[in-house]
Amino acid sequence: MEDLNKIPLTIFKEMKKEIDKINDLFCGNLTVDWEHVYRFAPDFFEAKVPNFIAYTENDWNLLSNLLTRIWYMAGIHTGDLVHVLTSEIDIRQRIFFQSLSQIGAITLNCMRQAMDAKRIMITIKHLKPPFFIGPPAMARAMINVCNFELNVDPAEYLKCYKTVIFTEKTLKEEHKEFFKEKGFLGEFFQFRHNDIASFFAIDCEQHQGLHIPEDFYIVEAVNPKTGEVMNEGEEGSLSITNLLFRATPQLRFTLSKEKIKILKDPCPCGRTTARIVYTK
């Protein structure tokens, strides 16, 4: 860790400013020859020029294995029907299906577009999948379809979900209450991913922080202005170093606006890995 601290932080906010100036779609991060790139995908993050993230075949399979562990933590097992709402153009989300198939789960794939919400509601009415994986915006669209097009109580359709895993955003308590009131009555799991750093984490059934896969990442809470690493339990910005990925590795990739605390005491679930608690 002392050696890692000698490496300057890669500040996401500053990186965005430089993207348009660099004539390189990988922003200087591609570290393998092109013939070793297995898959790649853009992450636009509000810049005029997309920043691409690449994966070797081994990178991709490592991520799939990690997600398999994550789905197990959320209670998904062989034979379970999992409703996955994805974007057709986002190649990274194909890894959701690869990892779920490794478990032996059955996936119900639907496009995450508001225009498809009515067809989605009719589908889940008949199939009643117990697991939901998708963005909160799509969940809102599904609620609106029930209220304004189908003229039914959303709970009549949404009560089938026993486990709800929202992607893209960390869910605040007030948001959980909103979705519960609208019919998402299942257990909510906090799930967080960052595409640029190829980072994934989820909480457990105790819901006392997201477990860090410490064999994949070094996660720090840092002061982005000074580079200081915060002590356990102190608030800082999320900084990620991915340990195993060859194609576009990230060292101390820092999201200044994502405020966290890191807890290192054993979780009541029995796991001993450090946990992330989001404070903002």
Q: How far apart are CA 199 and CA 63, in angstroms?
A: 9
Q: For residue 46, is pLDDT > 70?
A: no
> What dotted CATH number matches 4-40+209-278?
2.30.38
HSE-CB for 2 with a 13 A CA cutoff: 0
pLDDT of residue 48: 60
Is CATH 3.40.50.980 what the domain over 74-193 is classified as, yes or no?
yes
Res 9 pLDDT > 80: yes
Contacts of 2 (CB under 8 A, 6+ apart): none
Nearest to residue 193, comparing CAs of 215, 170, 171, 163?
170
Report the range of poorest mean pLDDT among 136-140, 194-198, 243-247, 262-266: 194-198
The structural domains of the chain, with segments of one domain joined by +, span 4-40+209-278, 74-193
Neighbouring-strand partners of residue 133? 84, 165
pLDDT score recorded for residue 88: 56
- Indicate the pTM of the whole model: 0.90
Contact 203, 170 (CB under 8 A): no
| Residue-wise pLDDT tens digits, 135-184 | 888 889 899 999 998 999 999 999 999 999 998 767 778 888 999 999 99
25: confidence class by pLDDT, cuts 50, 70, 90: confident
